[in-house]
Each structure stands twice: as structure tokens, then as C-alpha cells.
Amino acid sequence: MNNYPHPLIAREGWPFIAIALAIAIGIHVWAGFGWAAFPWLVVVFMVQFFRDPPRVVPSAPAAVLSPADGRIVSVEKVRDPYLDRDALKISVFMNVFNAHSNRIPVDGTVTKTEYFAGSFLNADLAKASLENERAVTCLRTDSGHDVTCVQVAGLIARRILCYAKPGDRYARGDRYGFIRFGSRVDVYLPPQAAPRVAVGDKVHATETVLAELA
């Protein structure tokens, strides 16, 4: 399992916040608040973007939890291109005002990871799932279910961070990655999984149940 401490502000954001803060303070000192107002707004934006709040894990053993904060943009039966199987796909779109820390949706072991270079289309578009830059994490639960999580870069996202490695053991809600500045996460489940969300629903990483495994 990839243990990661959960500070209220994600470590991935510390350098960005420090730079923005130094610029804001410097301009404030030399030119006054009027000139520094916009840099201070950038500091506030950085802090809210990189927040990494603790989450409560639901106890239902068959629940598949949301890997990200955001809005459901897809609930459909498709072909999982990474495991070559029929699947239920549920996609969560994250805008720049959502927390971007990504969490594991099920208890399980990582069976494989892959990275694909690609475009940076609007992550709200369906074709972004297969055309954008993305990182794939495949998990197998103790009951033998395969679950595929795909971190997809967005229009202005330029860095996907995935810490999972084959053989790693995770519990639901464990932090496994981060995507900077707008993106989506696709979850491919066994086709018999029962969805518990619909397109348009707002979800929270770890705390929202996306589906239940049969």
C-alpha cells in the first residue's frame, strides 16, 4: 500500500503556493495592495486548488467509491480498452475549483499501470478519454473483480501524478495520485456493477458511492 500523509494542503502544491506567495508579498511591499490584489487572488486560488481534505470512507463492502471530486459526465456500458472486456464506465470531471487529489475506489491490489501521451482536449468531452494524456491503474479486488482507473489530463492540465505500482496493495480511500489544473477520472467496472450515480450528479472523492459490485 502506498501510504501518504494527508496535510490539508497537498504537497504537490507547496512549490506553487510558495512562489505565488513570494510574488504577492514582494509586490505588496514595493507597490502596495492595489498592485498586489491580483497576485493575492492567485495565492487564494492556489490554496483552494491544492486543498486535500480528510474524507470518511463508507463501510459498505461492495461499494465502489468516487476517485475524485467533481461532476458525473458519463455512466455507460463500453469496452474497457485497457483490459479488453465489457465494462460499466463512470466518468468524473474535475473543474479548477474541485480538489484534485485522487483516491482509490476499491480495496485491492494493483495489477498493472500504463501511461499514454496524448492531447489536452477539454476533459468534459467524451473523446478525451482515449485521446488525451492519461495514466491507467488496474486493480483486482479480493473477490476477483477488476477495476480500471484512468486519470485523464484536461484542457489546461499539464501533469498527471500517479504513485501506484504493480503489486501495491490499497484500501478504499487511499490517496494514489494528483492531476494539476482541470481533468477527469474514468472508472471501468464489471458490466454487472450497479451504478448509484447519474450524469450531472456532484460527487466527492471517497465519500460518494459510484456503484456497487455484484
Residue 183 a catalytic site member: yes
DSSP 132: B
Q: What is the C-alpha separation between 72 and 90, in angstroms, rounded?
A: 7
Q: Which of 66, 101, 129, 183 is catalytic?
A: 183
Instruction: Please say whether the dihedral angle defined by the alpha carbons of residues 40, 48, 137 and 167, taken in this order, is positive or negative.
Output: positive
List of residues 6+ apart from 34 with CB closer than 8 A: none
CA pair distance 82, 20, nearest whole angstrom: 39
Rounded to whole angstroms, the Cα distance separating 169 from 139 reads 9
> Are the beta carbons of 183 and 157 closer than 8 angstroms?
yes
Active site residues: 183
